[in-house]
């Protein structure tokens, strides 16, 4: 037995009783049936995860998993690989977008080094965890991203991160230059499609460069032949260390019965890997928003997760996940604090 298999064995479905109680309560409120739409869907899902109609989701953490990618050498990003390291430093200093948004919604930010290139210089910094597997992946356009052993190690590291932190709800994001390329490759592999027409601009590459990026992804899929029925094989061949770490985090949190809000394309690729390894894990996920990356909506449909926001975002870092927390507060306020129709008309 491994940490991964042991953790998967602990995952249970969300509570049917909690969902049914929430549905009864929401149906009784003083408004037309389901008039608050997806906000009521969210309340129902949160009650199912908590097993209660009075859950508390005040203790929040935004996890940002960071790693570098060998495929950056193929020119698929507008930014140099060194930006990954610079942005990790910016996050630890409190100056990134995720810090600003997380601070505004009363959430902590924890940055996890899963595979950043360069010297280990952040040990002891507040809000930092070191689970580095290696200094970046290999170029997926030339061969596997990592060994299968490293793929499993990255997932199990993510499980350890989930087990080490205390919160009521988590937001999940990432940092890694060029990581929309392996994320798209992962999505294409698991959904058995080609990259043509679903590859986006990532960091903002020009429209003409998208065709070249599509070719890199399709070459990676052809050379590596990932097995769409085996999430670890897909991760090993076309993934990334931070993608594996996020997949493991989702599995670890599900075993602990903790909700995780996923962000955009890259964290959703991790969710697909987690789903491949344990389909029940999606019971513990919430999709924060619909990214403008073309593949993202198809990935969410594959997971069966509706997005709650559409803000034309494509930054990553977990920014969309953090923006979901006020909706969580509002959904819980409706469930707990609204008057019922009977109370109004008595």
Q: pLDDT tens for residues 27-70?
A: 999 999 999 999 999 999 999 999 999 999 999 999 999 999 99
Q: What is the mean pLDDT of residues 299-311?
A: 98
- pLDDT of 250 higher than 80: yes
Q: What is residue 245's predicted lDDT score, i.e. its pLDDT?
A: 99
- pLDDT of 229 higher than 80: yes
Q: What is residue 203's predicted lDDT score, i.e. its pLDDT?
A: 66
Structural tokens at position 288:
């924060």
**Domain layout of the chain by residue ranges:** 3-55+332-345, 60-325
Active site residues: 317
Q: What is the CATH number of domain 3-55+332-345?
A: 1.10.1610.10
Predicted TM-score (pTM) of the model is 0.97
Q: Cβ neighbours of residue 257 under 8 Å, at least 6 residues apart? A: 12, 49, 51, 284
Q: What is residue 336's predicted lDDT score, i.e. its pLDDT?
A: 95
- pLDDT of 328 higher than 90: yes
Count Cβ atoms within 10 A of the Cβ of residue 269 and give its class: 0-12 exposed, 13-18 middle, 19 or more buried.
buried
- pLDDT of 219 higher than 70: yes
Nearest Cα residue to 267 out of 147, 257, 253, 255: 253
Average pLDDT value over all residues in the chain:
97
Ranking 29-33, 77-81, 90-94, 251-255 by mean pLDDT, the lowest is: 77-81
* Better pLDDT: 205 or 136: 136
Fold for the domain defined by 60-325: Rossmann fold (3.40.50)
d(CA 45, CA 100): 27
Structural tokens at position 325:
């927390």
CA dihedral 180, 283, 191, 228 (to 10 degrees): 100
Q: What is residue 212's predicted lDDT score, i.e. its pLDDT?
A: 86
Q: What is residue 277's predicted lDDT score, i.e. its pLDDT?
A: 99
Query: In this structure, are residues 64 and 111 in contact, taking their beta carbons and an 8 Å threshold?
Result: yes
């Amino acid at each position: 037995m491994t940490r991964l298999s042991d953790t998967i064995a602990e995952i249970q479905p969300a509570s049917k009783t909690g969902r049914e109680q929430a549905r009864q309560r929401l149906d009784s409120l003083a408004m037309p049936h389901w008039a608050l739409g997806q906000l009521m869907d969210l309340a129902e899902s949160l009650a199912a995860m908590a097993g209660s109609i009075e859950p508390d989701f005040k203790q929040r953490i935004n996890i940002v998993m960071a790693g570098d990618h060998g495929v950056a050498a193929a020119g698929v990003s507008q930014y140099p690989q060194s930006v990954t390291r610079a942005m990790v430093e910016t996050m630890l200093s409190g100056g990134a977008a995720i810090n600003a948004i997380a601070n505004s919604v009363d959430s902590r930010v924890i940055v996890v080094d899963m595979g950043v290139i360069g010297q280990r210089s952040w040990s002891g910094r507040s809000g930092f965890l070191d689970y580095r597997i290696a200094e970046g992946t290999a170029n997926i356009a030339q061969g596997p991203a990592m060994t299968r052993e490293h793929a499993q190690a990255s997932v199990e590291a993510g499980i350890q991160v989930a087990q080490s932190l205390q919160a009521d709800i988590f937001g999940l994001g990432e940092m890694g230059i060029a990581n929309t390329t392996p994320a798209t490759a992962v999505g294409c592999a698991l959904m058995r499609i080609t990259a043509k027409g679903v590859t986006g601009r990532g960091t903002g590459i020009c429209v003409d460069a998208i065709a070249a990026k599509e070719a890199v992804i399709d070459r990676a899929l052809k050379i590596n032949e990932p097995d769409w029925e085996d999430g670890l094989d897909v991760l090993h061949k076309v993934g990334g260390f931070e993608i594996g770490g996020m997949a493991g985090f989702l599995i670890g949190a599900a075993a602990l019965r903790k909700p995780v809000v996923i962000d955009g394309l890259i964290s959703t690729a991790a969710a697909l890997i987690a789903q491949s390894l344990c389909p029940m894990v999606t019971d513990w996920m919430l999709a924060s928003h619909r990214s403008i990356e073309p593949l993202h909506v198809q990935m969410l449909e594959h997971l069966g997760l509706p997005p709650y926001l559409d803000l034309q975002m494509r930054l990553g870092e977990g920014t969309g996940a953090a923006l979901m927390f006020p909706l969580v507060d509002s959904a819980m306020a409706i469930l707990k604090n609204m008057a019922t129709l009977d109370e109004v008309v008595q």
